[in-house]
Amino acid sequence: MKNPNKQENFKKLQLLLNELPWYVEEYINHKLRKLSTASLFNYCHDYKIFFNWMISEQLCNGNMKDIPIERLEQMTVIEVENFLNYLHYQLENKELTVNRKLSALKSLFNYLQNKAETPDLKPYLNRNVMAKIEFNENKETMETRANKMEGKILLGDEYERFRLFIAHDFGEMNKENTKTYNFYQLNKERDTAIISLILGSGLRLSELVGLDLDDIDFSKYCARVIRKGNKEQFVFFSQTAMNDLQDYLAVRNTKYDVDKQNKALFISARIGPKGTTRRLTARAVEKLVEKYAAAFGKPSLSVHKLRHSFATRYHAEINDVPKLRRQLGHSSIQTTMIYTHIKNDDLKIAVDKMDMPKEQ
């Protein structure tokens, strides 16, 4: 199994670290085995915003990379509050985003004060201003978040209608457009299998594109994936997903002329006469979902919303939060609890029927 984005993300991370102070790089290296490169890249992006702000406010002179660690020790509560106000009012970051960036800074400062050591065994920071800063109170309840999500995911019979739309209806809709129709005919089994697998398992995008042929256990209906934190796990998927996957595998080699050395499960179509087949990228999957979602009349759908759709349906039918947490690969059960607040049409219909007059 391979994660095709891992090396690319690592290169991007290294390029960004070249712009940041040395102590940030030391902190990131400390976290490298514990967090994904994508998460660490986001941390560094937040640090870049912070250090650029320091320079723009003339809290420090020179280059961002040269900001001394001593300046962090001298930062005041007022300065940090000014930065948070800058995020909220000038960059128009929402409270959750401000909290996320503050969390990244708290983690960095905590490392510099409590974990990192100088050669004479003293902490890098004796004073940690971030420990004095409180997070914004998140006034948005789980129920509010669930209600916002509800209109952007698939519910009820939309699961099967969306799958059938990709497997058949999209082609009928575009018969007059030769280029679109031919491209669809080439990829319809692959695209149906991709959507069906997400809707039938709740896989993350990175987990999906990282799948190899030998990661699929056809007897147990499960796939071996690498989850966040580089944890290996077997994730189960539905009978429908298995059927669509087998339909795709029946045409994979002939349609894509795949080299025997290429073990990637999902393959990209050739582009141009000299094009080569390769593992389908995460961005390619995002684009195909966007294309079908727009044509289906639900443009808010994304890969992540399909994952939410699976989780909502799983909870409605199984009602076992610990099992759902494991299936989704959540580190905290609180993250999984949001799906207990999403309304389900099937349940509502059942309750409504209770009020119907009974036949005499």
Q: Which domain holds residue 45?
A: 6-139
pLDDT at 157: 85
Residues 90 and 227 in one domain: no
Q: Which of 139, 159, 182 is the last residue of a domain?
A: 139
Of 45, 152, 228, 326, the active-site residue reads: 228
Of 2, 12, 304, 323, the active-site residue reads: 304
Would you list the DSSP string of 127-138? --GGGGPPPPP-
Distance CA 359, CA 105 (A): 65
Residues 156 and 95 in one domain: no
Nearest to 110 by CA among 55, 59, 53, 72: 72
Nearest to 117 by CA among 106, 125, 109, 105: 125
pLDDT, tens only, 69-107: 999 999 999 999 999 999 999 999 988 889 999 999 999
Q: Does the annotation count 304 as an active-site position?
A: yes
Of 101, 188, 255, 307, the active-site residue reads: 307
- The CATH number that applies at residue 63 is 1.10.150
What total of structural domains would you count in the chain? Answer: 2
Q: Does the annotation count 330 as an active-site position?
A: yes
Q: Does the annotation count 163 as an active-site position?
A: no
Q: What angle do CA 340, 346, 348 make, to 5 degrees?
A: 75
Q: Does the annotation count 127 as an active-site position?
A: no
Mean pLDDT on 170-181 = 94
Of 101, 190, 204, 279, the active-site residue reads: 204
pLDDT at 183: 93
Average pLDDT score over the chain: 86
Q: Does the annotation count 308 as an active-site position?
A: no
Nearest to 267 by CA among 207, 156, 189, 202: 189
- The CATH number that applies at residue 323 is 1.10.443.10
pLDDT band at 346 (very low <50, low <70, confident <90, very high): very low
Distance CA 185, CA 224 (A): 29
